[in-house]
Amino acid sequence: MKEMICIVCPKGCHLKVDENNDYSVTGNACPRGAEYGKNELKNPMRMVTSTVKIEGALLRRCPVKTSVAIPKGKMFEVVQALNSVTVKSPIKCGDVIIKNVAGCEADIISAKSM
């Protein structure tokens, strides 16, 4: 039995997930908490927000994020990919910086026009 706090909404329900009983979840006030608790043990996913180097802009780093959540186990590969890329100004908010980063079905997109 694993205990965790649901982070899907600000209510922060205290969940208990029983990995020996088909990942049944208790303590959730809504179905989203059950899904979160199950996924958190089976395949945890995270959004990544970071910055990449940019040339030709006033600032030296451009904020970026993943287009969708990625498997937590891919975080290191994604950060390595971010460290190896340099973009050139002008960049528009929402531009794709890296397509299918680290083999995930997520793109790295710009979070700011620069």
- Which residues contribute to the site for ligand SF4 (CB under 6 A)? 6, 8-9, 11-13, 28-30, 32-33
Shortest reach from residue 33's CB to ligand SF4, in Å: 2
Tokens of 113: 């026009």
Nearest residue to ligand SF4 on Cβ basis: 33
Which residue, 12 or 90, is less far from ligand SF4 as judged by CB? 12
Q: 42-61 in b/e burial notation, b at 16+ Cβ within 10 A?
A: eeebeebebebebeebeeee
Q: Which is nearer to ligand SF4, 40 or 95 (CB)?
A: 40
Least CB distance from residue 32 to ligand SF4, whole Å?
A: 4
56: left (phi over 0), alpha (psi -120 to 50) or beta: left
Toward ligand SF4, which CB reaches closer, 11 or 88? 11
Comparing CB distances to ligand SF4, the nearer of 8 and 85 is 8
How far is it, in rounded angstroms, from Cα 82 to Cα 76? 10
- Please, what is the minimum distance in Å from the beta carbon of residue 8 to ligand SF4? 4
Alpha-carbon distance of 87 to 82, in angstroms, equals 11
Helix (H, G, I), strand (E, B) or coil at 76: helix
